[in-house]
Structure 1
Amino acid sequence: MCGLLRHALKRLPRTSGPNAGRKFVRSVSWIEICTMAERVDFSRNAALFDRRHGVVLADDEVDQLWHAAGFHSGARVLDIGAGTGRVAIPLAVRGCTVVALEPARGMVDQLRAKAAGCRVSVVIGEGGLLPFQAGAFDTVVVARLLYLTKDWREILREANRVLAAGGSVLHEWGNGQDEEEWVQLREEARRLFEQAGVREPFHPGVRSEIEVDADLEKLGLARAADVVAGQGPITTLRGFLRRLVHRELSYTWAVPESVLAECLPRFLAWSEERFDLERPLAMPREIRWTVYRRLLASPDSPHDFEVRHHSGRVAAHLTRPLSPRAS
């Protein structure tokens, strides 16, 4: 592990001031390493990941994120839960120095193959146990991750810890909105599995973007800008049901076969009764990224501020008022 971290961080600038000459690595305890082994391994999804989510972000999506988040050539970027490099690779191609953190070996193998020749250093590790010193990165990317893990609050705390002054957190929410049909299907399946005695049948992570906003606000980061970058893949609800039933989606990995067989007839009947299962629709309805920046003033100050980046100045406003901090 130590050799891997040295390799992954060798091109990052060193700190200035009292920490000058040190690399951005912190020690990880043996207890933490053992805990990492208990996490869900998404390697079994690696072969399907690019087909569902795209090999890399489209150029126009990267353009929007580049300006909204203030990326620039040479920017130090950490991609937590990088998967197969969907975000890390296009940022590296544009000149960023990217560390891609990913715990699943299957994902890592594909990431390394795709990133050959790019300025991407691959680190096998967990987002809640970052092996980097404070202030090591200009931007931290968290894409389609927080709803998958119960450690989502630790991931946000660690992202904030390694963020440099004036840096930003770029978050992509890929779990849909409450009113979307496929989300209603998923939540009905959750209810049936829980009634059958399966505790936390689906991923135990964050359930809404509002929770992400609230936790980052407590850490001193405010929602600065939203980027809507199109919609998810077009499919049908029947196609979604098929993937759910056949365990192609990681949602059902924790559900025993006996419970799945018991609940399936009721679930399919409920679905047929309420929805047109053949209607084409996007899942999710829209792909939305959010830029969070460190507050430059107290919550009692005006709630809008300016975001500067290398190519000019972009005006950004908080999308909702801040609640006052507890005294």
Structure 2
Amino acid sequence: MKGVLLVNLGSPDSPTAKDVKPYLDEFLMDERVIDVPNWLRNILVRGIILQTRPKKSAEAYAKIWWEEGSPLIVISERFTEKLKEHSDMPIALGMRYGSMTIKNALKELNDKGVDEVLLVPLYPHYAMSSYETVVVKVMEEQERFFPDMKLTTLPPFYKNPEYIRVLSEKIAESLEGFDYDHILFSYHGIPERHIRKSDPTRFHCKIDGKCCQTNSVAHNTCYRHQCFDTTESVKAYLNLPADKVSNSFQSRLPNDPWLKPYTDFEFERFPKEGIKNLAVITPAFVADCLETLEEIAMEGQHQFQEAGGEGYKHIPCLNESDSWVKVMASWIKDWQETGALPA
């Protein structure tokens, strides 16, 4: 029997330092997130970061926490339930980090007789710290606990026409009545070295402003290229003026070169250049989370207006919108009936 496993990032169980600390420990100790030798990662994470970060992160989570729980979890559960209405296959939801484990989600499918699973990492783009770590973790759990299961993985869908359509329509709908000067596509940040590590050719990715425009097999695993490609596809779909759209990257760590330009620097720069009304979209995520709701919707607006900006519009993620559910349902149905995966 066929079934579907949806996987997203995860969340602490509550917005308290007690629950945030083990969640951050699991997240930051992932070798694909902080990609340094294990001994050094232990020092950085458990000896330094976890001494202060849980309290600060808990305060941030408390700002965006819903009555039903973590926004990312609640949205992902709503999306899953809606998706089930469009499919006769078992569908389970797991998280890469936290108590909603991938192992439990696989067990849920296994208990229903599923022996062939479509893994759906809920990330549009390939990155070792998001898409790749999900795929690797699912494979590890499957091989260890459910060796008779067969896995098929949905590829990154950053330029799929149906994904671009629903993303563009979401942006257009959100911009109705807002007279923007500029639209910023703010993507999750990653270290520059992750781009080079993910390059199968070992020589194409130079992060020099040219390699992303030069065709290469490296683009299949290049997060930076794929982010730019998403922006260009949306610009073309909505016929947006090139001078009113730009990209940036958020959530960096100090003393380490991450992808640029940095989102918070852009918030400070824009008002000085006459951009007073700004719209911000976060297409690296399909569900709103701490990074979109606190860092962009709250702190981003504060930074922009402190720098002299006026109007600010945070555009929500696709979340559990009916149009997005229908697109995912169509991909799942195609795989169920023909084994085809979206291009």
TM superposition score normalised by structure 1:
0.33
The structure in which a higher percent of residues are strand is 1
Q: Could you say which structure has the greater relative contact order, defined with CA pairs below 8 angstroms and 6 or more residues apart?
A: 2
Q: Which structure dedicates a bigger proportion of its chain to helix?
A: 2
